[in-house]
Amino acid sequence: MINLTKSIFIILLAIFAFSCASTQTFKQQFRSIDKSVLSGNFDGAIAQLENSKSQYYDKKDRVVYYLDLGLLYHYQGDFAKSNEYLTKADEAIERFYTKSISKIATSLLLNDNAMNYSGEDYEDVYLNLFKALNYVNMNKFDEAFVEIRRVNEKLNLLEDKHKEVAKEYNKSSDAVKKMEVGKNQFHNSSLARYFGILLNRKEGKFDNARIDLQKLKEGWDSQSQIYYFPKPNLDGYLERTNKVKVNFVSLVGRSPEKFAKNLTIHTLKDNIAIYTSNGRTRTELDLIYWDGIKEGLTFKFSLPYLRKNESKVSRVEVLVDGKKYTNLEMIEDLSEVAVETFKIKEPMIYLRTITRTILKGVAAELANQKLDKETGGGFMGYLTRAASGALLGLTENADLRSSRYFPSKVLVGEIELPEGKHQIQLNYYSSNGVLVHSDNLGTKNIQKNNLNLFQSNFLE
């Protein structure tokens, strides 16, 4: 009998070791790549990422790989290559989402880390805007229009997409509490509308450009939790002029990262209490009716949350031929969009993780009780309980996967110049007025029939 217990203990340890690789998210390996990205060495970052693909990304993480590489190629200036990988990401996100609908029951027993990553909503939406930017840089304006329309289509379906997942979960025999989704607060991207204004104006479609401008203003007024900052002045964008309209888009900072919030479940009779602790005090967050659960059990689990990355940049100014022309204005806070759209599926992650923790925890407790009867408990019984408890905690680690190289904020601006060649530079300043970065775009040939849209990136 003791040999049986030893065998079970060894098996638990083996599972424990395997789980370290399959149910946790590791981010330390990206530090050297991040260093290259922040210094503007995109060639080096791409080479390191491609050479270390098998080390840094599991097969189930391919969406993250496609997004990371697609964005890095965009910043490097290989727009065709960027779209190749962003298209792969787009297709994989849709494919994995469709598969996830049919595997709701299975996913209740598997940690989210063990599943194919199907992207966050903001990643799914903004990859199309980056594809649009790539097409603009390749002078493929029809294709850029298609990508902008895809943004609006995805935003319209955002809440319904998650409701479909919740509906399938609620059909499951393991569904103890009805799953709800959060309310979508983001229906209209000002950045997508802004690009629509510029492209329609370039094509001479001023009525369409006016519609985009009106939609931008409506979205701003109806989504104050997203557009909490002053509205950029766009009134002159559709006015005729003898000079050439020149536009700028600046991508600043980096999108949020996921971190883990550790929680504890204590069971009462027919109820579970969810607690969080800072090491000194314990706060009850939730009390959920759970039919048939016995009191006295304790399980640990963790949930993901998004934390914004702070940027050094407070102001971006445009210099032309050595003369200051304007300061750029923020049009989209991608970090705020990321946090707000994450709230749509947050209740689903919460309930699904609790359900999984309870199912595994109760099963482990029943197995431990059976072992105690067979072995009489003792030291080996203690070891198996400790190993199974640690295994449960490990397999309920939060899924911290996400892409790393979307910007945090997008700033835009417009000036008017005479036709001809002009030297253009963008300066980035901190909140206390210190110059932290200068981006010399070089000499640009400004022509009336061109789009004249220039981009600058500073991801710190």
CA 42 to CA 50: how far, in whole Å? 12
9-26 tens-digit pLDDT: 444 445 444 444 444 555
The vertex-281 CA angle with 276 and 284, nearest 5°, equals 40
Pick the closest to residue 188 from 140, 223, 240, 143 (CA basis).
Answer: 223
| pLDDT at residue 5, as a whole number | 47
Phi, psi of 332 (to 5 degrees): -150, 130
Structure token pair of residue 207? 């009525």
| Low-confidence stretches of the chain (pLDDT beneath 70) | 1-27, 102-109, 172-176, 278-281, 367-396
Residue 453: domain span: 2-458
91: left (phi over 0), alpha (psi -120 to 50) or beta: alpha
User: What's the domain count of the chain?
Assistant: 1
| pLDDT at residue 348, as a whole number | 87
Q: Residue 95: helix, strand or coil by DSSP?
A: helix
For 17-63, the DSSP string reads HHHHHHS----GGGHHHHHHHHTT-HHHHHHHHHHTHHHH--GGGHH
46-99 tens-digit pLDDT: 999 999 888 889 999 999 999 999 999 999 999 999 999 999 999 999 999 888
User: Which element (helix H / strand E) includes 367?
Assistant: helix 334-375
| pLDDT at residue 4, as a whole number | 45
| pLDDT at residue 18, as a whole number | 47
Pick the closest to residue 306 from 327, 262, 336 (CA basis).
Answer: 336
Between the CA of residue 177 and those of 188, 288, 299, what are the distances in Å? 32, 8, 18
| Rounded percentage of the chain residues whose pLDDT exceeds 70 | 83
Report the chain's mean pLDDT, rounded to a whole number. 87
| Cβ contact 9:375 at 8 Å | no
